[in-house]
Structure 1
Amino acid sequence: MTTNAITIVGGVYRENCLWPEWKNHLYGSGGRAAVAIVEHVQQITLRTYACEEHEETFDKTASFFKFKLLPTPVPTAIAFDYVHCMSTPVIRPALSAIPAEAPIEVQDEAVLRFGMLEGSAKVDATWCVYDPQSAFGPEPFWENGSKAQHLAIVGNRSEIVAMAGESDPSKAAAKLIGLGAEVVVVKSGPVGAYVYTAAGNPQLIPAYRSDRVWTIGSGDVFAAVFAARWAVHRESPFEAAELASRAVSQYAEMMVLPSAKVSELREMRRVPASTVTGKVYLASPFFNLGQRWLVDEARRYLTELGLSVFSPVHDVGPGPAEVVGPADLAALDSCDRVFAILDGLDAGTIFEAGYARAKHLPVYALAQSVSEEDLKMVVGSDCKVFNDFVTALHHTAWKT
């Protein structure tokens, strides 16, 4: 019989995002996880490092959502600043300036352990879910003396392969299971998550589409709901991962917590969000630093989402009209969709979008500062128009 209680040990940090605006929110992995599962677990205890300012502020959150906050005092307030929600954050202060603290020791029947910037958590648990939260130097669960009778490791591909020292995620998962993990969940972006156990072949749990896509903290929500369902309620790892994926879809769309109750998650109608492979034409002006930065960001993240990208500035470059024009049109003919950045109403970008629609190619347009009147033909020709960069990228990959 389970106790319907869990201890979460993880960071509580300030978070800011430029677009969409997300200003001065105090969450971090630990804080977000605790809020996420208040509808799933009756007794939640959050162990974290916290400076005086963060403790005073987050104690109000804990009181409102009725979970227990047990902070370990530290001198440093840490913040994450994002340009957009898929960008690499700037961490303040710099990692080298964050003092290393003694580990937080946690003993409970069910524990969710996150990696933290200030230190580590030494866990003694019956059931434990571990999310290392570090793409560059993830700490193996057992390295600091942590132990658990039932252990699930949840991480993205880079974290899992780094912890295991294997380049192939399947071999990495098998190695971690051989070392003592009962379950390994490899989060794989838009593909979903692969759940590995010692029993047999992995099972793919799909990611789900959402009208809006907000990714800051989505991994925290996944780990939290997975821990609530697997470590507390003892559901199968596959059912736990399925519910966690549904909770992430809800969070990505609404940007709010807590996650819905389990009955509501099960009843949600969601469409799997796998990338439709193909080649996308990246139409955009690139004549100043801001424009070129945005083109480079779009190219990078469309590629990360699984698409082949043709970018005129990267793949053709500058040149006379009689060279550039035919080369770009030939590339448009070879692509199966267009991602168009319409801000600035660049004549070449507008022409490329119109050419694509004349050939019945889907066009996904980012327009953050374009008037409704200037968008009339774009909307009227059934281009999909978005004012959020990351949402536009995902819908392009999904080819909705």
Structure 2
Amino acid sequence: MLNIIGGSYVENCIDPSYQELYGSGLRAAAALSKKGFDINLFSLISEDLRELAELKGRTFGYNCNYWSTKDTIEFDYYHPLAFPSIINYYDNSPTQEIKLSENGDFLYYGMLEANFIFQGKYVVYDPQNYKSFKTTGSTAKHLAIILNKKEALHFSKSESDDLSIIGKELLKTENAEVIVIKNGVNGAYVVDKEGISEIPVFATTNVWPIGSGDIFTATFAWQWIIEKKNPRDAAYYASKMTAIFCQTMQLPISEISEEILPREIKSRTNKIYLAGPFFTVAERWIINEIRNILIDFGNEVFSPLHDVGILDTNKVQSESINIATQDLDALTKCDTIFAIVSGLDAGTLFEIGFAKAVKKRVIILAQNVNENDLTMLIGSECEITNDLSTAIYMASW
């Protein structure tokens, strides 16, 4: 038996179009269903969505325990890697405190609208709301905490940003047996009494990131609590199953026939040249958005828009050589070029050709482009996708 505590939230995305009732708790229950053990989900739902939430429970085969809330929280994404707008939740919204009589093993995702209190045996805790397990009022005989990099830095009192050092610190301050720090495209760190291990990510040809962190934590809990795997093996398998979810979006999670391989763990920062037109507000917005995400993923990014500037149309002859020299020098020094070819801008196509000539890896985001116009790019083995999230992950690996 595994008790799962976590949110049941509406998730909306504009591009690509997506609308589902999931959230961390419901997604984890669905992901781990039909694995040979019973699941109890504890969550909150509004009355207008209760029927749908309970239908999901019957469909996937887990037990639903829902408390009522006025309005179900919604997360609205412009694209899957955008920071979401949170609907039906405000900073002064009341938090329900719920005491459970159940004991045993728990997978606990932090929630915005509620705090659950229980006495657990084996517990995997994923804070999500920046609330330490110690402050929830719950207890665990054996505790594993799964955090992303931002959460780890938030909880740490260390002046260092070295995740291995932070992991060892949190192991003591959080009174945990295991600390797992997810580090995005760079994998994860597992810290326990045996030491520190690095866990790789697995490469896929498509990346759906919404809910991927939930899947990692759920799989780790399954392997560590139910299957009694050691933390390193549990995290390695969690990384693999997360990649499969990102590739297929299928629940429950399961192995697939297609082979996916772990990526080599990087020892240095990836240098990316961000190419694309920036003549309009819309074009400059997408360049800026992609640059910010690539930097957030730990890459070093050269962007002609940000690092060279916009050409003065009254000084084309005098400034062109200077601008081209800076751009070509940056192309020569980069590891990867991320190119936006929507609109088939001549400058961008030239940058792609130059990059291929000097043996650089080229990732292309091509939306609303006729395949015939991509002939030379396909033929020169550029890596092409029409999905923004996938392109960003591909460039960052």
1:337/1:380 Cα in 2 relative to 1: closer, same or farther (>3 Å)?
Answer: same
Deviations 1:37-86 (A, max 9, x none): 11335200000011112221110010011100000111022111112211
Q: Which one of 278, 285, 289 corresponds to residue 293 of structure 1?
A: 285
Shift of 1:245: 1.0
Which residue matches 1:18?
14
Structure 1 contact 243–266 (Cα < 8 Å) conserved:
no
**Partners of 2:375 and 2:165 in 1: CA distance:** 52
- CA pair 106-48 structure 1, distance change in 2 beyond 3 A: farther
The alpha carbon displacement at 1:12 in A equals 0.3
Q: CA RMSD in A?
A: 2.0
Q: Alignment partner for residue 219 of structure 1, among 208, 213, 217?
A: 213
Letter in 2 for 1:11: G
Corresponding residue to 2:262 among 253, 271, 285: 271
Which of 86, 101, 122 is the aligned partner of 2:81?
86
SS of equivalent residue, structure 2 residue 221? helix
Q: Name the CA distance, whole Å, in 1 between partners of 2:370 and 2:93.
A: 45
CA distance in 2, matches of 1:90, 1:98: 16
Is the Cα contact below 8 Å between 1:283 and 1:338 reproduced in 2?
Answer: yes
Q: For residues 248 and 179 of structure 2, what CA distance do their matches in structure 1 show?
A: 28
1:266 Cα deviation (Å)? 12
Instruction: Please identify runs of 4+ aligned residues in structure 1 that moved more than 6 A.
Output: none
Aligned to 1:308: 300
What SS does the corresponding residue of 2:112 show, helix, strand or coil? coil
Q: What are the superposed Cα offsets for residues 275-326 of structure 1, whole Å, 9 maximum, x if unpaired?
A: 5743221111112222111111221222233322110010110233233222
Q: Distance in 1 between matches of 2:258 and 2:99?
A: 38
Q: 2:137 aligns with which of 136, 145, 164?
A: 145
TM normalised by structure 2 equals: 0.92
Alignment size in residue pairs: 386
Distance 1:144 1:281, change over 3 A: closer
Is the contact made by 1:191 and 1:273 (CA closer than 8 Å) also made in structure 2? Answer: no
Alpha-carbon spacing, 1:269–1:374, altered in 2? closer, same or farther (3 Å): closer
| 1:386 aligned residue | 385
Alpha-carbon separation, structure 2, partners of 1:388 and 1:269: 20
SS of the residue 2:118 aligns to: strand
239-248 or 167-176, which moves further after superposition?
167-176
Listed as ranges, the matches of 1:1-400 within 5 Å are 5-22=1-18, 24-96=19-91, 98-105=93-100, 107-134=102-129, 138-168=130-160, 169-179=163-173, 180-197=175-192, 199-260=193-254, 264=255, 269-272=260-263, 274=265, 277-319=269-311, 320-398=319-397
- Read off the aligned partner of 1:40 and give its amino acid letter: K
Change (3 A) 1:215 1:102: same
- For residue 30 of structure 2, give the secondary structure of its aligned residue in structure 1: helix
Q: Quick one: percent identity of the two aligned structures?
A: 38
1:102-146 residue CA offsets vs partner (Å, 9 max, x unmatched): 235363211011110102121210110000013xxx111121321
* 2:316 paired residue number: none
Question: Within 2, Cα distance between the matches of 1:351 and 1:173?
Answer: 45
CA distance in 2, matches of 1:270, 1:220: 21
